[in-house]
Amino acid sequence: MQTDEQIMQIFQDLREIYQTARQHNAETINQGEKQVLHYLCQTGGQAQPGEISRAIHISTARVAAIVGSLARKGQIVREPLGSDRRCVQIRLTEAGRERVAAIYAHMGEQMTYILQALGPEDAAEFCRILHRLPGILAQFNEPSKGDL
């Protein structure tokens, strides 16, 4: 059985990992912008604001703010859908695609560095445990909360 001390240490370590990992991009892009850019890449480079809101679980007002920021940076454009100016399609620009590629490249470099620093045995163990976590969380989130 895990102790409260172990659980608090895990929370502290995860927070430190998150803060350290995002220091590089903190000045130029926020987490919401990353999520929107990533979603647009997954959907072929375009989506409507409501789709984005539902997919990444943020409010439409937050999507509007993120879209405004990304548009000012030239990473997306808003295109009208039909005659109603309120209906728009968000489309990734070439600059947006380049930004996403740079983010993915940086994340890949970070992960490569981490795995190399861990060494072969610890890297394999880290990957094995990480691979198990989605199934464990899914089991926890089941109504019966499964037995361990």
Which residues are CB-neighbours of 80 under 8 A, at least 6 positions away?
87, 88, 89
Give 48's DSSP letter: -
Query: What single-letter amino acid sits at 63?
Result: V
Q: What is the pTM of this model?
A: 0.75
Identify the architecture of domain 4-141 in CATH. Orthogonal Bundle (1.10)
Type and span of the H or E element at 77:
strand 76-81
Query: What single-letter amino acid sits at 127?
Result: C
Half-sphere exposure of 58 (CA within 13 A, CB side): 17
Q: What is the pLDDT along the chain (148 residues), one digit of tens a residue?
A: 578 888 999 899 989 987 887 776 555 678 899 999 999 999 999 999 999 999 999 999 999 999 999 999 999 999 988 877 778 999 999 999 999 999 899 889 989 999 999 999 999 999 999 999 999 999 988 877 655 5
CA 104 – CA 116 distance, rounded (Å): 18
